[in-house]
Structure 1
Amino acid sequence: MSARVLITAGASGIGRAMAEAFAAKGAQVWVSDVDKKALARLPASWGAADVDASDEAAMADFFAEVKARWGGVDVLCANAGIAGPTAAVEDIALADWRRCVSVNLEGAFLAAKYAAPMMKAEEHGAIILTSSTAGQYGYPFRAPYAAAKWAVIGLMKTLAMELGPYGIRANAICPGAVEGDRMEGVLAREARAKGMTRDEVYQGYAAGTSMRSFVTAEDIANMAVFLGSDAARLVSGQVIAVDGHTENPDPKV
């Protein structure tokens, strides 16, 4: 794969797995992140930038640098996101709601906004937004996160329609429960909010899938590589869950 791939929040977790998977296929990789320590651990052959995906001025500067150095971008993985608060809706502060929506939704919007002109100029490209199974179902105690991830899907559907005539595809990946540090934090917070143990919440998530399993960051990355490749040249406007088939998104069982 000879492609220029830009990944927001690409220094760790799902984003890092995406970067590694694209790089393994021969792609040029450039990641942005706010985690300076994680950025410092990236391979020297990758581009790396300290950028807040929800800061428009910073994103405009970043994409200007990408255009100056690369001339354009072939694949955008708009992956930046935060978990947001875990609480009953009446206990969520508006500031916390806005921060969660800003990173998860506005971060995806800004990445698409600045990638689209470069892709239009070359009449090709693939935009991959990281949504969530929370963007397909209601999600108790995670109202801002679920709302933002539903909106990401609406954004993706619109991008697919708007940019399709220019040869640009847009799709959304919906990870389920992904093994790793971030999910461990979610499990701990939900356990406190629901008066359950961490293991009870974990088992609830696993039991809520038909395959009785969490997924890995590599599972998500493999789907991103497919969606960014010519093998998916007519796959656009699609919501693709990589979640072991979620049946019950509320981990009570």
Structure 2
Amino acid sequence: MSRRVFVSAGAAGIGRVIAERFLSEGAQVAICDADPAAVANFQADYPQAVSAVADVTAENEMAGFLDALETQWGGVDVVCANAGTGGPAGAIETLDYEDWQNCIAANVHGAFLTCRWAARVMKAQRSGLITLTSSTAGLMGYPMRSPYAAAKWAIVGLTKTLAMELGPFGIRVNAICPGAVEGPRMDRVVAKEAVARDMSEDEVRALYVTGVSMKTWVNADDVANSILFLASDAGRKISGQILAIDGHTETLAPS
């Protein structure tokens, strides 16, 4: 039987690349995403996949989609809790509380709803892999991005805890910590930081490279490669790990 793989926020960006890579290996793939246009594009390109519009922070939407997926598949082998948002940029005293809440909700509450379902289903079958998307911002401080850093550190704690809870049932849980990933999402992040730091976007991009040992950004395929490795037989004993895919970030506050 082919592997059954669910990717949240899977219609665009990193999530789409993860979904595409599993599809190319013959897996059954399901995605959800809050962006109707992105889901429509994904459906058009991959009609063999299960796809739906669902907001990871909306309990009813996620429960409806995931319960239907469980009925259709009878279980799940790989769950990628990938959804998140960059949140606002700025010194903490300038931030709006609603923006803070939205950032925490998309990154942390969405992961909770996804992992709660995955844990129940995988416990019943006594097998499975869960990956959560954290960030290098979940490994160190990140000036001007406190909501995002707080959320991604929470994902690290959730990963470590779930690996302990679920390990006895044959379930592995790991976090992926991408660095700066090329693409539209980071373009938006750079634009926000440029305003917050009173710098040009090119200057902000240069700062990201300055703080990385390999002096380079990463791409979505780099992230997907790591998840496919974890899902392979070669990764079958890897659990509770926080894996940075970033060219070694030395600091998120380069001088």
User: TM-score of the superposition, structure 2-length normalised?
Assistant: 0.97
Deviation track 1:79-113 (CA, whole Å, cap 9, x = no partner) reads: 00011111110011111111100110010111000
Deviation at 1:226, TM superposition (A): 1.1
C-alpha contact 1:63 1:115 (8 A) present in aligned 2: no
2:80 matches 1:84 = no
- 2:180 corresponding residue in structure 1: 177
Unaligned runs of 5+ in 1: none
Report SS of the residue matched to 1:41. Answer: helix
Q: How does 1:2-151 map onto structure 2 within 5 Å?
A: 2-42=2-42, 43-151=46-154
Unaligned runs of 5+ in 2: none
- 1:215 corresponding residue in structure 2: 218
User: TM-score of the superposition, structure 1-length normalised?
Assistant: 0.98
C-alpha contact 1:130 1:174 (8 A) present in aligned 2: yes
Aligned amino acid, residue 106 of structure 2: V
- Quote the sequence identity (%): 54
Report SS of the residue matched to 1:210. Answer: coil
Q: Following superposition, which runs of at least 4 residues in structure 1 exceed 4 angstroms of deviation?
A: none
Deviation at 1:230, TM superposition (A): 2.0
Q: Distance in 2 between matches of 1:230 and 1:2?
A: 14
C-alpha contact 1:56 1:110 (8 A) present in aligned 2: yes
CA RMSD for the aligned pairs? 1.0
Deviation track 1:139-159 (CA, whole Å, cap 9, x = no partner) reads: 011111100000001001010
Q: Distance in 1 between matches of 2:35 and 2:225?
A: 24
Matched pairs, number: 252
